[in-house]
């Protein structure tokens, strides 16, 4: 399968073809998963809320298709990056793989509580955003049972969501203060004092020392010509 009209001008054609096919497969899987999830959510909303049933079919189909397409694009992009990382062969890639193996070994030794706490600290912004979306949806479901107009329900849902989001931000700030064994992993990953460049430099120096010394052909020829002139 080709990845463009200039496929022969992008370096290793076989590598790029394999990367393209790898990304396409991952994108198709993401699209299928996103389509199933969006269709299931749309079916639930269609059966539950009268306002959703009144929306045009083209709008509902567009929301489902755009959601599935977005998930597929994200999967394909991540797969393309992962393919490149799997095929790195220089000294820096060796250091990265060794650091990743050490981090995975340290992660496997953590308890379930420490893993959950470390994950929440590492994805704090996603947790806050998800809590906002979740609180918006839950508050909307609750307010739907109240005898209010659509505009009033929307305002009430937003107020409830804002209050719950502030509560989640305060809870996240308190959560960040709880010590855990996974804090060392986060420090190695996000610290400004990262010394991985030193490891890469040492690996490059060791690799250079293992190489045989260069042969100076020019000086050898000059020596031979000098011996011939003396004879």
Q: Is residue 117 part of a domain?
A: no
- Residue 162 forms part of a structural domain: no
Task: Kindly state whether residue 39 falls inside one of the protein's structural domains.
Answer: yes
Question: What's the number of domains the chain is made of?
Answer: 1
Q: Which domain holds residue 20?
A: 11-87
* End-to-end Cα distance, the chain: 66
pTM of the model: 0.53
Q: Evaluate whether residue 38 is within a structural domain.
A: yes
49 in a domain, yes or no? yes
132 falls within a domain:
no
State the Cα–Cα distance between residues 40 and 213, nearest whole angstrom: 65
What does the pLDDT profile of the chain (231 residues) look like in tens digits? 445 554 555 567 888 889 999 999 999 999 999 999 999 988 988 888 787 788 888 888 998 999 999 999 999 999 998 898 777 766 666 666 677 777 788 888 888 888 888 888 888 888 888 887 777 777 777 777 778 887 887 788 778 878 888 888 898 888 888 888 888 777 766 554 455 556 666 666 676 676 666 665 554 444 554 444 454
Within-domain flag for 60: yes
Tell me whether residue 61 is in a domain. yes
């Amino acid at each position: 399968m080709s990845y463009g009209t200039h496929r022969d001008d992008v370096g290793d054609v076989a590598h790029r073809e394999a990367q393209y096919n790898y990304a396409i497969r991952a994108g198709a899987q993401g699209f299928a998963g996103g389509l199933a999830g969006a269709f299931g959510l749309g079916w639930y909303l269609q059966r539950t809320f009268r306002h959703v049933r009144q929306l045009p079919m083209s709008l509902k189909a567009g929301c489902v298709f755009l959601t599935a397409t977005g998930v597929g694009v994200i999967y394909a992009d991540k797969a393309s990056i992962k393919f490149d990382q799997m095929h790195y062969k220089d000294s820096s890639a060796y250091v990265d793989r060794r650091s990743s193996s050490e981090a995975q070994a340290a992660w496997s030794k953590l308890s379930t509580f420490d893993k959950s706490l470390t994950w929440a600290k590492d994805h704090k912004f996603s947790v806050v955003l998800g809590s906002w979306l979740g609180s918006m949806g839950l508050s909307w479901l609750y307010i739907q049972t109240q005898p209010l107009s659509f505009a009033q329900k929307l305002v009430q849902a937003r107020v409830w969501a804002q209050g719950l989001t502030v509560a989640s931000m305060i809870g996240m700030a308190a959560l960040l203060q709880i010590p855990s064994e996974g804090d060392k992993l986060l420090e190695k990953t996000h610290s400004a004092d990262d010394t991985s460049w030193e490891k890469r430099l040492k690996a490059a120096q060791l690799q250079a020392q293992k190489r045989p010394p260069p042969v100076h052909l020019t000086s050898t020829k000059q020596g031979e010509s000098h011996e011939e002139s003396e004879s």
